[in-house]
Amino acid sequence: MKTNKSYSKRLKLTKNGKILSRKPGFNHFNAKQSRGSQLAGKKGVNFVIKNKPKSHLMPFN
């Protein structure tokens, strides 16, 4: 099965097997945000895969 490269570049697998992604909406136009809001956007959020198997999205399972 082919790996979905667009997902694999955006996601990160932790040591315990959790999948992390960045919060949406923090790629650009951040100059008007407060510094605390900018730093909160760097923190990863848990990513839940609903219908597709993990092996389809991540190459390192």
Domain hosting 11: range is 5-57
Largest separation between any pair of C-alpha atoms in the chain: 43
The pTM assigned to this predicted structure is 0.56
Is 54 within 8 Å of 47 (Cβ atoms)? no
Q: What is the pLDDT of residue 61?
A: 53
> What is the tens place of the pLDDT at every residue in 12-61?
888 887 888 888 888 888 899 999 988 888 888 887 777 666 666 666 55
